[in-house]
Amino acid sequence: MKIKSCINSEIGVLEGVIIHEPGPEVENMTPDNAERALYSDILNLSVASQEFYQLKGVLDKISKTFEVKTLLQEILEDEYIKEKLLKEVFIREEFNEEIEKFISEPAESLARQLIEGIVLKKDNLTKYLNQERFLLKPLHNLFFTRDASMGINDKIIIGRMANLVRERESIIMENIFNNHPLFDTKTINPLKPSGNINPDIKSTIEGGDFQVAREDVFLVGTGVRTSSQGIDFLIENLKQNTNKKYHIIVKELPHTPESFIHLDMVFTILDVDTCMIYEPVIYRLNRFRTIILTIEGGKVSEIKEYANIPEALKKLGFDLKPVSCGGSDDTWIQEREQWHSGANFFAFAPGKLIGYERNIHTIEELNKNGFEVIKANDIISGEVHPDNYKKCIVTIEGSELARGGGGARCMTMPFRRAEVNW
């Protein structure tokens, strides 16, 4: 039976999520190309895999989980879909190899190559002199499944990535949602015309910058990854529904340091009455504006600035108590924990979260605000279950995964949640 996509909040009970276990593609980099791969460091796969096992183990206990690699392999069994997907990859990445030899690859092998990359064979002088190791580059960032697609009510927006090294992720996710028999949804792609909406080459939008507060209220960060044109694309799509009123809260983000790349690195919604903030960006950097755009009757009816996201949300009926990443006492601690995704929490139900245990001051702050602290392994073993708690934070080890530049929210792409009783 097909599963309808439905994302009307950030905190509704999780009913379906897509993840990707990091594999050889994570180790297929060196310090020389880590920056190009959008990493600030290189990862130890064996340790990262153990940590990811904790995330997956918890998700398996509470929801239906699906792996990108498995879904990709299953759609590649269809020869028409395989050829269509490969042609799109070849065009977008200017890949000048004969497509026929890849079309003949079995689905399992091709799925692996599309994710892990293809090593360049040095069988002529030009290739021998080529400094690249890979003919087709690995998808180093694929385990951050949040960015390449994002749920908005009953639709899926396909991410328009800011960096070429990640564009294949979007192609894969669009093909999965459009072609896999598991899903019943409509995709929206900033690169492709839809009705009277034409693509803008400057439009970029990534899932880490996009949050659904409520079915009519969306938060979007704009900075190095999501452009104003990408937000305009979202506006144009919402304008098509002339019978609805929508609000988009836009938060300008600093371009440096790199830990501010997405909105969910400085702000996440935790419960019907609680949010996590990185205080220096959300409250203190007032030169980075917070703006509400109201859309009704097929047009933008109002654009107004507010002091910060919590104030803007309060105007729209949300009264969220902010919990400070790193605690409230020491800006050095706040900065250190934000760098390792201390504000990046994934809510799998109202008031029930997953995050890194390494951010001890943030975890302590959550505990002070009524969140019971549970270790992931205790849930995996069956010793405890989140259903037995009103509010909880499930901690996973994150000494290695955090070095990739993302947290639990970054590594999860929910496509179905239950409704929230606000």
Q: What are phi and psi of 379, to 5 degrees?
A: -75, -45
Strands 245-252 and 14-19: unpaired
What is the model's pLDDT at position 161?
Answer: 95
Q: Determine, yes or no, domain membership for 52.
A: yes
As a whole number of angstroms, the distance between CA 244 and CA 230 comes to 21
What is the model's pLDDT at position 27?
Answer: 83
Q: How many domains, the chain?
A: 1
What average pLDDT does the segment 111-119 reach? 93
Helix axis angle, 107-116 to 79-92, nearest 10°:
20
As a whole number of angstroms, the distance between CA 286 and CA 306 comes to 10
User: In 316-384, where does DSSP find H-type helix?
Assistant: 331-339, 360-368, 376-380
Q: Please report which helix (H) or strand (E) contains residue 92, including its range.
A: helix 79-92
Q: Determine, yes or no, domain membership for 317.
A: yes
Which of 187, 154, 194, 183 lies closest to 171, judged by CA?
187
Q: Which residues pair with 218 in a beta bridge?
A: 212, 248
Residue 275: both structure tokens together: 């949010």
Q: Please report which helix (H) or strand (E) contains residue 52, including its range.
A: helix 45-62
Q: Determine, yes or no, domain membership for 265.
A: yes
pLDDT digits over 272-315, tens only? 999 999 999 999 877 899 999 999 999 999 999 999 999 999 99
Helix axis angle, 331-339 to 360-368, nearest 10°:
110
Q: Determine, yes or no, domain membership for 276.
A: yes
Is residue 272 exposed (0-12), middle (13-18) or buried (19+ Cβ within 10 Å)? Answer: middle
Q: Determine, yes or no, domain membership for 179.
A: yes
As a whole number of angstroms, the distance between CA 262 and CA 407 comes to 11
pLDDT digits over 117-135, tens only? 988 888 788 777 778 788 8
Which of 34, 6, 114, 22 lies closest to 67, judged by CA?
22
Q: Residue 174: which residues within 8 A CB-CB, separation 6 or more?
A: 149, 158, 187, 189
CATH number of the domain enclosing 135: 3.75.10.10
DSSP annotation of 120 reads: P
The boundaries of the domain holding residue 148 are 3-38+47-417
As a whole number of angstroms, the distance between CA 295 and CA 303 comes to 9
pLDDT digits over 148-189, tens only? 999 999 999 999 999 988 999 999 999 999 999 999 999 999
pTM (2 decimals)? 0.95
pLDDT digits over 213-228, tens only? 999 999 999 999 999 9
Q: Residue 82: which residues within 8 A CB-CB, separation 6 or more?
A: 75, 76, 103, 107, 110
Q: Determine, yes or no, domain membership for 190.
A: yes
Provide the residue type at 282 as one letter.
I
Strands 267-271 and 245-252: unpaired
Q: Determine, yes or no, domain membership for 290.
A: yes
Q: Determine, yes or no, domain membership for 422.
A: no
Question: 68-82, 194-208, 325-339: which has the minimum mean pLDDT?
Answer: 194-208
